[in-house]
Amino acid sequence: MSSAPPHGRVAALVPAAGKGERLGPGIPKALREIAGTPMLVHAVKALAASPMVEVVIVAAPEASVEEVRSLLSQQEFSADVSVVAGGDTRSDSVARALISLPDDIDVVLVHDAARPLVPVEVVTGVVAAIRDGHDAVIPVMPVVDTIKSITEDGQILGTVPREQLRATQTPQGFRREVLQRAHAEVDSSVTDDAGMVESLGIAVHAISGHEEAFKVTRPLDFLLAESIIAKRRVR
Binding residues for ligand C5P (CB under 6 A) = 15-18, 29-30, 59, 86-90, 93, 112-114, 215, 217
Nearer to ligand C5P, 88 or 211 (CB): 88
Element (H, E) at 11: strand 9-15
Residues making up the chain, counted from first to last: 235
Q: Return phi, psi of residue 42, to 5°.
A: -60, -45
Residue 192 DSSP class: S
105-110 and 9-15 strand pairing: parallel
Closest by CA position to 18, among listed 115, 86, 69, 82: 86
As measured in angstroms, the least distance from the Cβ of 24 to ligand C5P is 14
As measured in angstroms, the least distance from the Cβ of 19 to ligand C5P is 7
As measured in angstroms, the least distance from the Cβ of 224 to ligand C5P is 16
Nearer to ligand C5P, 6 or 171 (CB): 171
Nearer to ligand C5P, 6 or 87 (CB): 87
As measured in angstroms, the least distance from the Cβ of 118 to ligand C5P is 12
C-alpha span between 145 and 134 (Å, rounded): 30
Nearer to ligand C5P, 87 or 173 (CB): 87
By the 8 A CB rule, do 60 and 94 touch? no
